[in-house]
Amino acid sequence: MAAEKPAPVRVLYCGVCGLPAEYCEFGPDFERCKPWLRAHAPGVYPDELIASSSSGGDKDVDKVGERLQGVGISDGSTSSAAGDASASKPEEVKRLPGGKVKKKDKQEVVMEKIVRNKRKCVTVVKGLELFGVKLSDASKKLGKKFATGASVVKGPTEKEQIDVQGDISYDIVEFITDTWPDVPESAIFFIEDGRKVPAA
């Protein structure tokens, strides 16, 4: 006998955020999803279930649920009045699908000297692409200027960086600011002993 194939599951996706209807409360903007959920998925939406139940004890659960929706995470450094003022401002943060916030990278060039085999070292240059510099061209110019090997590689964070063989930290800041005038000297940093130190 052949085993029966299971029937495919039909999933109702929210027309506002694109998540499955039962996950909208975890999405980027639950308040905008509520009217769509009331119209298209009344059995899934928790407030509709609570309103349809006849017991009076469930109203406390509704109040707690509404309070939990408004809870946010703060660093505790601002007062509650400042927190209310910042909450009333319209959000200018770019959101990715699924509600993740896209962080804007700081425009800075970070260099680090990595020692290998006790004597050989590699200078890693990160962040030039944030100033509109093409990394392949930059690696060629760095290799030619310092008469060494330079290549574009993916770093541990999956971002591209330039690895230059040897210790070139003595002259690289001046070379970068002269070659690419869009890169200010105040935006160049070295990593020394795990700390970021300004190059200037």
Same-domain check for residues 97 and 116: no
Same-domain check for residues 96 and 114: no
- The answer as to whether 172 is a domain residue is yes
Same-domain check for residues 57 and 131: no
- The answer as to whether 1 is a domain residue is no
Using one digit for the tens of pLDDT, what is the confidence trace for 38-85?
888 877 765 544 344 334 445 555 565 666 566 655 555 444 444 444
Same-domain check for residues 30 and 47: yes
Same-domain check for residues 139 and 98: no
Same-domain check for residues 97 and 134: no
- The answer as to whether 159 is a domain residue is yes
**Distance from C-alpha of 12 to C-alpha of 40, rounded to nearest angstrom:** 9
Counted domains in the chain? 2
* End-to-end CA gap in the chain: 78
- The answer as to whether 83 is a domain residue is no
Same-domain check for residues 66 and 115: no
Using one digit for the tens of pLDDT, what is the confidence trace for 98-137?
666 666 667 888 888 888 877 889 988 988 888 888 989 9
- The answer as to whether 2 is a domain residue is no
37: part of which helix (H) or strand (E)?
helix 30-40
Do residues 123 and 169 lie in contact, with contact meaning Cβ atoms separated by under 8 Å? yes
Domain that includes residue 44, residue range: 10-70+92-102
Return the CATH number at 193. Answer: 3.30.780.10
